[in-house]
Amino acid sequence: MMNPAAIDPRLARLVAFNEALDDRDPADWCEQALAQRLDALLELENCLTAAGHARLFALSLARLAELALLRAGNCADAAQFCLAGDLLVTPRRVDVHLRGGLRALVHPRHQRLSDTLNLGGPASCRASWMVANAYPVVRREALIPELHRRLAACGPLSEAYLEDLSRRMGQVAATIAFLAAWQIQGESDLCRRWQFAHGAERDAMTSAMCRFEPAFFHDLGGVIRDLAAGQEPAQSAWLPLPAVGPIGDAKKNCLPLCQH
């Protein structure tokens, strides 16, 4: 039987998209590159869905979510709180509408709103003026919440998988909170703490880390290749999701990936 991807240009583009994801080490994907890949995938959504390939689109979207979570977990484990927070919390675009204004202002990321509006005076006066006159609107949320929202809206993915994504998002936040509570402000502080940690303290730090693995990202790639080639994978309904915990933890949770 002829490979469907060889005769369907929409499938061919999706296969090429996923091959490009595999060309780079999973740990090397930064937020900007992942955001660009998401925009590229969204350009294919309508034509793939119309052609009956909604499941392949959802699985490709899930691969981006896996990469984004891997990146966020690695950043949290390295005490790179700003980078992890950008993926998990900080909106990528916020527009500020001013009372009586004709055009919205684009609020730069990581900048105080009062600086964007060039406000002077006491902090209390600035705050009162902004409450009465400025209306921030999130135009593009943080990358991981956007991926989670889009996956939830896709339909083919199971609730169990979405819950696991939420659990790992929570793990990233918990790791950041744990390290911050220990007065760790960055990578150098973390290295010193690891150097002098022993026994129960080292065990506590180890158990608080994300230590995510890219195994499920690779598993999804294999499923997509099989489906694009017209083959139903033997484990298309059940795939192993990596347990949150230290590297080498053999415990796995088998959760339904796709609803049928």
Q: Residue 240, SS3?
A: strand
Using a pLDDT cut of 90, give the percent of the chain over it: 45
pLDDT of 253 > 60? The answer is no
Q: Give me the count of residues in the chain.
A: 260
Distance CA(27)–CA(70), nearest Å, equals: 7
* E-state strands within the chain: 93-98, 105-107, 134-140, 238-242, 252-256
pLDDT of 85 > 70? The answer is yes
Average pLDDT for 213-231: 89
Average pLDDT for 155-173: 89
Encode 51-89: b = buried (16+ Cβ within 10 Å), e = exposed: eebebbbbbbbbbbbbbbbbbbbbbbbbbbbebbbbbbb
Distance CA(238)–CA(236), nearest Å, equals: 6
> Domain boundaries in the chain?
4-88+144-256, 93-140
Tell me which of 40 and 199 has the higher pLDDT.
Answer: 40
pLDDT of 54 > 90? The answer is no
Tell me which of 134 and 60 has the higher pLDDT.
Answer: 60
CA distances from 242 to 88, 158, 189, 216 (A): 19, 16, 29, 7
Q: Are strands 134-140 and 238-242 parallel, antiparallel or unpaired?
A: unpaired
pLDDT of 24 > 90? The answer is yes
For the chain, what is the mean pLDDT? 84
Name the token pair of 75.
């950043």
- 180-220 per-position pLDDT tens digit: 998 888 888 898 888 888 888 888 888 999 999 999 999 89
Q: Which residues contact 45 (CB under 8 A, 6 or more apart)?
A: 57
pLDDT band at 236 (very low <50, low <70, confident <90, very high): very low
Average pLDDT for 136-162: 89
Distance CA(127)–CA(143), nearest Å, equals: 28
Distance CA(173)–CA(203), nearest Å, equals: 19
Average pLDDT for 59-74: 97
Average pLDDT for 155-159: 76
pLDDT of 1 > 60? The answer is no
Amino acid at 74: N
Q: From the centroid of its chain, how far is CA 120?
A: 37
Residue with tokens 């949320």: 141
The confidence score (pLDDT) of residue 144 equals: 98
Q: From the centroid of its chain, how far is CA 57?
A: 16
Element containing residue 151 per DSSP (H, E): helix 143-154
Q: What 8-state DSSP symbol labels residue 117?
A: T
